[in-house]
Every structure is written in structure tokens, then in C-alpha cells.
Amino acid sequence: MKEIATLSRQEAVAEIEALSIELQRHDTLYHRDDAPVISDADYDALKRRLLALEEQFPDLRRLDSPSLRVGAPAATGFGKVRHKVPMLSLDNAFDAEETAEFVARARRFLSLPEDTILDILAEPKIDGLSFSARYEDGVFVRAATRGDGQEGEDITANLATVADLPARLKTSTPPRILEVRGEVYMRRDDFAALNSRHSARGGKVFANPRNAAAGSLRQLDAKITASRPLRLFCYAWGELDGFTPETHKGWLDQLQAWGLPVNPEHHLCRTLEDVEHFAADIYARRADLPYDIDGLVLKVNDVALQKRLGFVARAPRWAIARKFPSEQAQTRLRSIEIQVGRTGVLTPVAHLEPVTVGGVVVSRATLHNEDEIRRLDVRVGDLVTLQRAGDVIPQILGVITGQRPADSTPFVFPHTCPECGATATREDGAVAWRCTGGLTCPTQATERLKHFVSRNAFDIEGLGGKHIEAFFADALIRTPQDIFTLEARDRASLSKLKNRNGWGPASAEKLFDSINARRTITLDRFLFALGIPQVGQATARLLARHYGSLGTLLDTLDSIPGPDEEARLSEAWLTLIGIETIGPAVAQELLAFAREPHNRDVLRALQAEITILPVEEPDTTHSAIAGKTIVFTGTLTRMGRAEAKAKALALGAKVAGSVSAKTDLVVAGPGAGSKLKQAEALGVTIMDEDSFFDLVSNMT
């Protein structure tokens, strides 16, 4: 590429024209079709080049320049469907050992002796798109995508066109309600034929069968879906009324009898050896199966045991994905880019010569941090081995040093932020370099805003990453509260959103509407949206349930005294770190967040704009332990510690790790020591496991 300063006016005209067309195309692919063909970094490079050209030749800036535009019109129009029973994901096991651990964990949780048989049903894990289809009195009435697990998109019309799905169940005595869940997929041969048809017409070519299935299903025009070779398998359930499965195997047989397709490649395993045998068999036949799989799903067959095992965060304790070893490839490392995240962490990203791994073209991979680069001794120009496992981000495994260019030099990790120039620091014991610019670093600020509006946080539709960047650049949105004052400021201002390039009266109003629709939010989502380091969705939910309101949480944090030694002994601190998985590291981050004056300004400003609701509590109408704080100590034999805890939480109790004046009940098994003594000293109610078991058994 030529230096801009050396370009003639003629050359500049030609290049601006070409870049504008190219960027326009990528905008549409990204925003409207959800199918970008270049990386964000490559896109940014094109855009930077255009901006630089326009700066040099201001009079050549086109009125419709992509540099002034924020996004192409989005494909909207799918209604939302709330899942009565959430659609969960699965934890992974990557080998026999991790699989054995999963089974051992389930046994421990259920307090099952080692020698009893725990039947496991194994089925292929298809790499497609999960759906939930609802039948009422045997008639198909609605279907939805998984979405965020709580709420998906209404794809009734689209799924109805998939020939595998019966419009009516094959029975004269259907259940009143049947929500069946499964996977929509495309066979490899159908995928290849579809792609060659499309490319012959100069149309869109899909990267892999999964993308093709997803793109075909999420069509606003169901006629297009109907023209695509989609298939499906059913494997799970949501709401049921009028039918209760006893085993997973029995469930699959029943689905089959109703005319719902079930993957015939399923197998009931009685031992771990059976599981390994079946895994090896399917792995060996993987290429012969007509569809892509990325492993097996292993499920506890007995549904009563599944119910007892329940869920942790987003995944069931009774099922796991056993992933197959991933595919590998070799390619050259072109450059290492340092990206800045929302917490200021500098992450090195490898830019690679594009290579196909596991059916997907890979041109980027994360290098994690400075130590990883040093461990691999990876240098620009190196030939590297990389792997891609299922949906996991591609990973660099090693360097082929024999093929290293003679003049290569070790990579020097920068000690300043590449985005804002502020000093970067690496604290003792930490792996990451962090930009110290805080919110004065534009990249950190925009990344936090992007997180704030993202799907599991405020979920503001139509306010995507590119919009945030553009609004940030023009100082329209610099802080979270600015989002909620955008409309009022727009009404008062002369330069209106509707007059911006790429916007109009309708799209501006639509954005204001979708912002206003989010002025009410539950506390868990709100806490997650704040982007406090270490506070993910599960932790946010725990905090929200435990403290109930933002005020209570902040009061608690404010009551923790200043210096560390004192803080660590305070009641508030001990309660906080006693909440399930919230340890000292999370507590420290919460405290740091609460003590930063700027954050308090943001919280105050937000509270003036929005309403924060408590999280929906579990149904505890029949619970005598709702709201009570319970401590478990000693050995629990009847249900095991984890099951007892889960049961208590489900009944609305709080579970703490240490006994204090706030403890309502201590459940003590044999071997209980200091906690029991403390409880006696404080006069807290104490009961043994049997009494607790009887107490909670009557509540459900």
C-alpha cells in the first residue's frame, strides 16, 4: 500500500471509491447478515485507511462515506419467547479421566456407594443449533431458539418447514403439553450441495454446516428456510404436562413412538468402560457419520437421579459434553497485536496466514499473555501448530523452530497501552499487563460500555459495538448513564441522531424505544452489567440473591473498614466471603469498585434513570427455611454436602461458610468441630442431618 502523502489526487479518488464500496459490503455482512468475512481488526484497518485518506483529501469525503455511518439496518422481526424451563448448556470433559471425575462427582453428590451401577446414556453431540418445540394436545404450536437460555427467538414458522418435525404427534392420547428440545443441523452432503448451488449463482457461501443451519433457520422469510435442507434430532425436554419420563432411554423411545426423530446412535452404558468403548467407536466412525459431531453427551439415565442432581449455574450436574480431541493445522504467524479489554488487560492476539482447521478458516488466535508467549517462544514469522476444539477459540500449541526465519527476534511485550499510551503495569503474582489509564483509556471505556449493553447485561437491542464506538468518538455516549439520557439530550440538541448518516427518524426512535424498554432491570443483570472484574453472571446472581438490593450491598461494602487487616476481620467481610463461591478475590474487587468515587457517581446517575428490581426468588411458599442463613458442617451422609446446599438454596435459604451471630441454623454431621462449638456458644439452632432431611422433605 502506498504512503498517503505520496498519492496523487487521482489515485486517492480511486482508492476512496474502492474502500467505500468494500466497507459498505462488510457493514452489511456484519450487521445485517451476521456473517462477517473479515476480522474486526482487518475491518478496522480498512476503515483507518479510509479515514486517513479523507483527512488528507477532505473535499473527497463522500456524503455517504462509511466513515460517517454506524451499521447497516439490522435484520429484526423475530418475536421473543421466554423459556419456562431454561435451556442450559453443558460443562465439558476432554478425556477418560475427566469423564470418570464427572461420574464420581455425581456419585458423591448422591451419596451412592462406589459399587452401585449408575447408568449413563451416551449420544452424539451434534454441532447445530438448539431449538425448543412446543406441542399442545399433540399439535405443534410454537418453537424458539435457545437465545441466552432464558429467552429465545420465535422460530415457529421456520421450524414448521423442517420436514423431520411432525405437525402432529403420532398418538391418540397426546400429553397436554410437550416441549421437546433438540438440535437442527445440516448433513455434510446437503451442505456441500447447497454451497455449490450458491456459489454458482454468486451467492453466499457458508463456512461450515453449523453456520449454514443457523443461517437457514434464522430467516425472516420462512420460504427461504423451507428451501434449505435442514434436519433435526430431539433429545431433551422443557415443560411437560401429562407425561413423565422415568429414564432418558425411555424418553428417547417415547419420542420415537410419537414420530419425533431421535439420533439412532445412542447407547446405554452401565460402566465407565462401556462409555469409553462407545466413545472410541463413535470417534472412529466420525468421518462416516453424515453430520458433524464434536463429541458425545453423557447423561445420567435415571430421571429421578437427574432431578436430585439438579444444576449449577448454567449446566446440569447430570450431564456432560465429552469432547473429542480437536483438529490441528500449521500456519505462519504474521504479527502479534496487543488488544485492550474492558478491564485494561493487554491481550496479545496472533494474526495468522489463514488456514482451515476443523472446517473453519482461522486467521487469529489468542496468545493469552506475556508468559504464554515466552513459554512458546513464539516469534513473528514462525511456523506454528494450532488447534481448534469445537466452539473454543483457536489455540497455538507450539512452534516448529526448525523452520524459523534466521533473522527472527523474541517478541518484546509492550509496557505502555497501545491504545492510549498510558503506562502498563504487571502486578506481583499477576499474569496480565494492565493499562493504568482506566476510563481515560478510550478502548477500556468503550469495551465497558459494550459489555454494559450486551445480551446478558442490559441487552439493549440496536446498540451494537460499532454504534458504541461511533457514539463514544462523538462524545454522545461516554458513560453508562449517557445511554439513558441520550433521548432527552437529542430532543434538546440541534444535531439530531436522525440526521446522522445511516440513521433516520424511524431508526432513531427505535433506538430510543429499545433503551427505554430497559429502564427496569433485575439486580443480578445490573451487577453483571457493571463489569466488575471477577463478577460474572453466576456471582452476580449470588450477590443479588444474598443482598436483595443495590443499597444493601453498597451499605455492606461501605461498612467494611479501611486497612486490610481490619477489613478482613469485619463481620461484613466474613459474611461476604462466606457466600458460596465468593471468595476473598471477588470480595476485594467488589470493595475496590465500591471505593472508587467515579463508580459511585455512575451508580448515582444510573439510579436516577432506571429501576432495579430484586431477582425473582424461587417458589418458597412452602419453605420454612426461606431467608434463613444455614451453615453445614461435618460429614453429611444422607445426601452429601453439595446436595444439601443445593436443596437449601432452592428453598430460598442462604448458605454461609462460617458461623456468626447472623446464622439461623447449623446442620452438623459427625466430625463437626469449631463451627459446631461456635454455634453452641452463640446459641444458634443446631440439628443433625436426619432432622434437616425430614424438615426439607416436607417442603416440596
| Sequence ranges of the binding site for NAD(+) | 40-44, 89-90, 123, 146, 183, 299, 323
Which is nearer to ligand IVH, 243 or 693 (by Cβ)?
A: 243
Active site residue 450: no
413-444: b (≥16 Cβ within 10 Å) or e: beebbebbebebebeeeeebbbbebeeebbbb
Secondary structure letter of residue 685 according to DSSP: E
- Tell me: does residue 435 bind ligand IVH (CB under 6 A): no
**Phi, psi (rounded to 5 degrees) for 80:** -100, 145
Does position 251 interact with ligand IVH (CB under 6 A)? The reply is no
Q: By C-beta, is 148 or 337 nearer to ligand IVH?
A: 148
Exactly one of 13, 35, 88, 613 binds ligand IVH (CB under 6 A); that residue is: 88
Scan residues 149-208 and list those touching ligand IVH (CB under 6 A). Answer: 183
**Beta strand pairing call for 424-425 and 434-435:** antiparallel
Shortest spacing between CB 625 and ligand IVH, in angstroms = 27
Does 89 participate in binding ligand IVH (rule CB under 6 A)? yes
Distance from C-alpha of 462 to C-alpha of 453, rounded to nearest angstrom: 10
524 binds ligand IVH (CB under 6 A): no
Residue number with CB closer to ligand IVH (119 or 609): 119
Surface-to-core class of residue 525, CB atoms within 10 Å of its CB (0-12 exposed, 13-18 middle, 19+ buried): buried
Q: Which residue is nearest to ligand IVH (CB)?
A: 130
List the x/- string, 301-320, binding to ligand IVH by CB under 6 A.
Answer: ---------------x--x-
Decide if 571 contacts 577 (C-beta within 8 A). no
Nearer to ligand IVH, 306 or 446 (CB): 306
Please tell me which residue in 2, 47, 80, 125 is annotated as part of the active site: 125
Identity of the residue numbered 17 = E
Residues 67, 220: Cα–Cα separation, whole Å:
29
| Shortest distance (Å) from residue 558 CB to ligand IVH | 40
Q: Say how many C-beta atoms besides its own lie within 10 A of residue 233's C-beta.
A: 23
Nearer to ligand IVH, 50 or 180 (CB): 180
Smallest CA-to-CA distance from 275 within 91, 107, 102, 90 is with 102
Residue ranges of the annotated binding site for Zn(2+) are 417, 420, 441
All three cell numbers of 475, joined, read: 462524545
- The reply to whether 292 sits near ligand IVH by the rule CB under 6 A is no
Please give the residues from 573 up to 632 whose contact with ligand IVH meets the rule CB under 6 A.
Answer: none
| Residue 238 · residue 132 · CB < 8 Å | yes
Which range in 83-91, 300-308, 327-335, 684-692 contacts ligand IVH by CB under 6 A? 83-91
Binding to ligand IVH by residue 297, rule CB under 6 A? yes
Alpha carbon distance 338, 100 (integer Å): 39
CB of 88 to ligand IVH, least distance (A): 4
Question: Nearest approach, Cβ of 198 to ligand IVH (angstroms)?
Answer: 25
Single-letter code of the amino acid located at 522: T
Q: Could you give the C-alpha distances from 374 to 8, 367, 412, in angstroms and in order?
A: 45, 10, 10
Instruction: Based on the shown chain and the rule CB under 6 A, indicate whether residue 228 belongs to the binding site for ligand IVH.
Output: no
Distance set, CA 169 to CA 90, 139, 140, 174, 256 (Å): 28, 7, 8, 7, 10
Joined together, the cell numbers standing for residue 603 give: 451508580
- Nearer residue to ligand IVH within complex by CB, 159 or 319: 319
Q: Which of 19, 70, 81, 126 binds ligand IVH (CB under 6 A)?
A: 126
Question: How many residues in the shown chain lie near ligand IVH by CB under 6 A?
Answer: 15
Spatial distance between the Cα atoms of 158 and 155, rounded to a whole number of angstroms: 5
To which residue does cell 478496522 refer? Answer: 44
Point out which span in 122-130, 278-286, 334-342, 588-596 binds ligand IVH (CB under 6 A).
122-130
Q: Do 647 and 307 form a contact (C-beta atoms < 8 A)?
A: no
Residue listed under C-alpha cell 449413563: 120
Report yes or no: 399 and 384 within 8 Å, Cβ to Cβ: yes
Shorter beta-carbon distance to ligand IVH: residue 301 or 443: 301
Mention every residue, 6+ apart, whose C-beta is less than 8 A from residue 54.
Answer: 16, 60, 61, 65, 67
How many residues in the chain?
700
- Measured distance CA(187)–CA(228) in Å, rounded: 11
Please choose, out of 121-129, 197-205, 368-376, 454-462, the segment that lies near ligand IVH by the rule CB under 6 A: 121-129
Our finding on whether 686 is near ligand IVH (CB under 6 A) is no
By CB under 6 A, which span of 24-32, 85-93, 202-210, 439-447 interacts with ligand IVH?
85-93
Footprint on residues 310-369 left by ligand IVH (CB under 6 A): 316, 319, 321
Nearer to ligand IVH, 235 or 573 (CB): 235
Binding residue for ligand IVH (CB under 6 A) from 90, 93, 184, 606?
90
Q: Cβ 496 to ligand IVH, closest distance in Å? A: 43
Pairing of strands 267-269, 231-241: unpaired
**Contact positions vs ligand IVH (CB under 6 A):** 88-90, 123, 125-126, 130, 146, 183, 235-236, 297, 316, 319, 321
Q: Catalytic residue positions?
A: 125
